[in-house]
Chains A and B, each alone.
Chain A
Amino acid sequence: MKNRVAFVIKQAFYKSIPVLAGYIILGIGFGILLQNAGYGVLWAFAMSCFIYAGSMQYVGVSLITGGASVITTVLTTIMVNARHLFYSISMIERYKDTGKYKPYLIFALTDETYSLLCDGQVPDKKYGDLYRFFVSLFNQCYWVTGSVIGSLLGSVLPFSTDGIEFSMTALFAASFTEQWICGKNHIPALTGLVCSLLCLVVFGSEHFLIPAMLLITATLTVLQRQILSGEEETE
């Protein structure tokens, strides 16, 4: 049985390898950014341990340095991380009987972990929960390690890291493009861009985020019928 456990853990490690490079590098970017904002390695460690949501941590740095209000912070977190609601919804059945692993499995359900586990494949049915637990844990270790390295690097790098903050823009631009390629219906993506631009022009760069979120949700609610019927036609 010990052999089986070791086997399952090894399989979990193999499964997590695609995430390794990505999390280390994005983690380093986050760590440097946070260090440049004046928050050291303990902050990077704590944020990566307790928040553990990549995009949100990047946005979080600019919320903190920008002096965001409590309400803006809560609403921004809800909007940026709303997709986690839906990852969780789709895992309700699968995580139902995972016992002692359940709290951590739910907490650690990031985009990447979800993408590794959503197919439901496990190497050994008997140790499925253990396997999922270790895939989740390995991924978080990469993320925490990356952000700690970045934070330490940020304070000793001999050259200027001006412009490293662009990695956040690049991260979002890449996921936007990827979703555009994968998605059949481009109305939601366009709604996001157009509503945000509109609110940026009307409310200015300091105050546009909350109006933009409300306008996006309202627009998508109004367009619900069109978008859903459009999907049925293309399918």
Chain B
Amino acid sequence: MNFDVYAAVLVLLMALVTWLLRFMPFFIFGKSTPPYIVYLGKVLPSAIIGMLVIYCLKDVDMTAAPFGLPECMAVGSVVVLQYWKRNSLISILFGTVLYMALIRLW
């Protein structure tokens, strides 16, 4: 197998950008951080997580059987479990196992 240059470039970019994000504040902001940046820091995380949930479900076909039912039920179980137990690991494990079982049933 040839070395996958495309994948290597993407991995390298992801690593570099991640490093940049982690190190930049230490170089740029000494003690004063602009209020707008602080504001974005507060509100972006939950918005982006919402976006990522949609991103994960982007290819679900609601117009053909099983009409996205396995995804809906599994996501539903994660949300309910998280509300109930507040333990991400249990929610993730249960949701994934349920999904893997459901797609074998349909």
Contact = CB atoms under 8 A, between A and B. Distances in A.
Interface of A: 21-22, 25-26, 29, 39, 43, 46-47, 50-53, 55-57, 59-60, 63-64, 68, 70, 73-74, 77-89, 92-93, 95, 106-107, 109, 161-164, 166-181, 183, 187-193, 195-197, 200, 205, 208-209, 212-213, 216-217, 220-221, 224, 227-228
Contacts, number: 248
Interface in B28-66: 29-31, 33, 36-59
Interface string B3-24: 0101101110111011101111
Which of B15, B40, B49 has the most A CB atoms < 10 Å from its CB? B49
A84 B22 contact: yes
Contacts of A60: 10-11, 14
Contacts of A78: 17, 21
Nearest to A83: B45
A164 B49 CA distance: 20
Contact of B96 (A50, A85, A163, A209): A163
A187 B39 CA distance: 13
A168 B83 contact: no
Interface of B: 4, 6-7, 9-11, 13-15, 17-19, 21-26, 29-31, 33, 36-59, 71, 74-75, 78-79, 82-83, 86, 88-89, 91-93, 95-96, 99-100, 103-104
Chain A contact surface mostly: helix
A108 to B, nearest CB: 9
A77 B55 contact: no
